[in-house]
Amino acid sequence: MKTKDICEALNIKRHQLRAWTDALAPYSKQTTHARSARRFDTGDLLFFATVQHIEKKFGLSISVFAKLSQCIYDTVRSPRTINDHERIFLDINSQRCFITDTLDIDAEGILIDIAPVKKLVSGFLELTPTQEQIHFGLAKVS
């Protein structure tokens, strides 16, 4: 994917994406070459969609994200069994985060429902829902 694809998917301007890549790890640590466009994959799209969701929902500043971005990046991109009720727990004090499907957490932090993020990304990628996600289990056939 190119920058324009990420911007289109998230409905953001290029300068917003540039601000994120300049401030947030691992992108801020990557060396870039003049006249060479940065390439992204679906994991990057998922990461930026998560950042956008957290930023809109909780109003966290870019400086807070800078401390947690590598952890969020690793967590979002980690291999795992897909669960419709996944949440990311951000422990801002210890600067760690993890995926959870329970509300039983003994630490203080922010619990983020990532269902809207998954919906946005799958909608942009035009991934079709599974049979069980289709209303009444029926699919329209053309």
Overall domain count for the chain: 1
Q: What is the pLDDT of residues 58-77, one digit of tens each?
A: 888 888 778 889 999 999 88
Within-domain flag for 134 = no
Within-domain flag for 131 = no
Let me know: does 120 contact 9? Beta carbons within 8 Å.
yes
CA distance 121 to 1: 13
Within-domain flag for 57 = yes
Within-domain flag for 136 = no
Q: What is the pLDDT of residues 43-61, one digit of tens each?
A: 999 999 999 999 999 888 8
Q: What is the pLDDT of residues 94-114, one digit of tens each?
A: 888 888 877 777 778 888 888
Give residue 137's pLDDT band: very low, low, confident or very high (50, 70, 90). very low
Task: Show Cβ contacts of residue 89 under 8 Å, excluding neighbours closer than 6 positions.
Answer: 97, 98, 99, 100, 105, 107, 109, 110, 111, 112
**Residue whose token pair is 């998922």:** 46
**Domain of 22?**
3-126
Within-domain flag for 116 = yes
User: What order of strands is seen across the sheet that includes strand 96-100?
Assistant: 96-100, 87-91, 110-113
Tokens linked to 36: 């060479």
Q: How far is CA 117 from CA 45, 48, 136, 138, in A?
A: 10, 9, 24, 25
Q: How far is CA 33 from CA 9, 36, 117, 133, in A?
A: 25, 5, 30, 43
Within-domain flag for 141 = no
Q: How far is CA 81 from CA 15, 77, 120, in A?
A: 34, 12, 19
Within-domain flag for 10 = yes
